[in-house]
Amino acid sequence: MRAAVIHNALNGTRPDQEDTLVQARAVHEALVSLGIGSSILSMSLDLEAARTELAALSPDIIFNLVEELADDIRLAPLAPSLFAHMRLPFTGSDAQALTLSGDKVLCKRILDAAGIPSPAWVLPDGTCGGMGAGGKAGGHGFVTGRYLCKSVHEHASLGLDEDCLVDATTVKDVTDRLAACIARHGGHWFAERYVDGREFNIAIIAGVNGDEPQVLPFAEIEFRDFGADRPKIVGYAAKWDEDCFEYVNTVRRFAFPESDAPLLAMLASATKACWHAFGLAGYARIDYRVDGDGSAEHPFVAYVIDVNSNPCIAPDAGLAAAAHRAGLDYAALIKRVVDAGLNQTTAQNIVYAAGK
């Protein structure tokens, strides 16, 4: 078997961009350790060049690590679209799933329609969104409180910091802060109600031989030594600046008391619901903020804050750490993802054949 590990051509030196190369090299080495021939290719917006290179290589499987093209995450779905057009097997989610989850406002509309709780949201023109089946506000009216302004399309928490928070009593409070974020960073932004609770990153991978997906061990991000005045957000610095307070003091943990069992069951159910609602494949990670303490007065509500259809799969990332806790070393994780890609292609080919 021969694999092509494809990543997006880099146009910058941000830590999150350089991490793409770290992933590509790690996946390549894991494939080689499995006895699978592997080549690393970079892909730009020149789709014809990519098509020609792939046609010449004719890989048995493409390990897709393309996160953006021409520095635009909205173009990432072009990669799996090209692979599907060439009838080449590839890993991970298809173009449709990347599109639905990559636009965070569209993502929230899908969550709402699927009855999966998601925080209330506001657009720059003042349009307000609901809170899903688990929400308390209902309807589409404005909910007063603290909001977090976020980029609609950027990943890796780019541009996310304390200045993105606003305490709002009116819609205008939110739209004014959104205007400031747009002026500072450019692009499209929206605001999401800030849930001042626990944060979980739940990884999920495809099942064996087409079985139901497997939710990996639950990971909570602890905010250690955050004072009352320091907002608990995992912004860009917390993910990529190794010298900052937020990076050092946001710590992943996997051990939980028995009292968290109802919450963990809720997270597992919601994660599988997201997998099916977005048509995810291969591997994914769903991020949550949790309101409530599990008491009768304040029951747990797990709000989805991000659906990552192509999360980081570097050896030191959360997905690999969760897989390790489930008994899958890094090579075994990569093999599971490759097998899922091959199985998915086999199923699609059966559909193609039936349609002839």
- How far is Cα 23 from Cα 8, in angstroms, rounded to an integer? 11
May I ask the CATH architecture of the domain 2-91? 3-Layer(aba) Sandwich (3.40)
Smallest CA-to-CA distance from 240 within 186, 308, 317, 163 is with: 317
Smallest CA-to-CA distance from 124 within 154, 143, 150, 92 is with: 150
Q: Topology of domain 198-335, per CATH?
A: D-amino Acid Aminotransferase; Chain A, domain 1 (3.30.470)
pLDDT for 82 = 98
- Ordered by start, the domain boundaries in the chain are 2-91, 120-193, 198-335
Q: Enumerate residues 6+ apart whose C-beta is below 8 A from 316.
A: none
User: pTM for this one?
Assistant: 0.90
- Are the folds of 2-91 and 198-335 the same? no
Q: Enumerate residues 6+ apart whose C-beta is below 8 A from 52.
A: none
Smallest CA-to-CA distance from 164 within 195, 131, 197, 190 is with: 190
pLDDT for 135 = 38
Per-residue pLDDT of the chain in tens (356 residues, 90 and over written 9) = 999 999 999 876 676 777 889 999 999 999 999 999 999 999 999 999 999 999 999 999 999 999 999 989 999 999 999 999 999 999 999 999 999 999 999 999 999 999 999 999 999 999 888 744 333 444 457 888 999 999 998 765 666 778 899 999 999 999 999 999 999 888 899 999 999 999 999 999 999 987 899 999 999 999 888 887 888 887 776 677 777 887 888 889 999 999 999 999 999 999 999 999 999 999 999 999 999 999 999 999 999 999 999 999 999 999 999 999 999 999 999 999 999 999 987 666 555 555 54
Distance from CA of residue 240 to its chain's centroid?
16
Q: Enumerate residues 6+ apart whose C-beta is below 8 A from 129.
A: 105, 108, 109, 112, 120, 121, 122, 123, 140
